[in-house]
Amino acid sequence: MRVLVADDDNASRLLLERVLAKWGYEVVAVSDGQAAWEVLSGPGAPELAVLDWMMPGLDGVEVCRRLRALDLSNPPYVILLTSRGEKEDLATGLEAGASDYVQKPFDPVELRARLLVGRRFAELNAKLLEVQRELERQALTDSLTQVMNRRAVLGRLEEELVRARRQGLSLSIAVLDLDHFKAVNDNYGHAAGDEVLRTVVARTLASLRPYDVLGRIGGEEFLIVMPGVAAQGAAAVLERVRAAVR
């Protein structure tokens, strides 16, 4: 796991780098608060950070305040290093957004334990975000065919209509309805009907462009949204679809 170390004191920073690397962390080291802010607010930011409270430019507390203001879904776990021991000072750091603190000069055993807590927190938060994203995906996905469900595809259609009007673009839509699908279910069973739907979806997707949209809006009804396509082009696309699913 990656850890950002920010300390303007060269000796302290080098010591932290060596200790954290020995514990198996991938260390990113900077010497001031502005550099720490740029790393932590940028893409691919480390999951953990050890920031000195007192640094030139931005101090560690201000970096914490700025990070909290970003309202990140997966913010870094920040440990403040400070020689301040008053309860009011510690409260200031935690209220600013720090996750924990360690007093200087730091005790390696204590720092390692607090980093372990931060690591567990970061890993748990990442898992929760993964679960949340999967739940959001499931809420917008048809469970049988794995294409957009009615809510999702109609929402996408609305977005494309707004974009087409604003930019003066063509937009074509089509409804795909399977003839005599009820007879398939009645004669061969619902499992066979489900397989037919999955096959139709696979063949339809193979006939569409990567940026076309397919969604299930009913039992055997599907909506196709084709951004940037006028009527003649849409007819050609739909003929490919018809030929593929016959």
Active-site residue set: 220
CB distance 83 to 103 below 8 Å: yes
Residue 108 neighbours by CB under 8 Å, 6+ apart: 19
How far apart are alpha carbons 176 and 220 in whole angstroms?
8
Q: Would you state the structure tokens that stand for residue 27, as one six-digit string?
A: 């260390």
Nearest CA to 157 out of 239, 102, 215, 112 is that of: 215
Torsion of CA 85, 87, 89, 90, to 10 degrees: 90
DSSP state of 106: P
Strand partners, 224: 174, 214
Residue 80 neighbours by CB under 8 Å, 6+ apart: 51, 52, 53, 60, 61, 64, 93, 98, 100, 101, 102
E strand or H helix that includes residue 121: helix 108-139
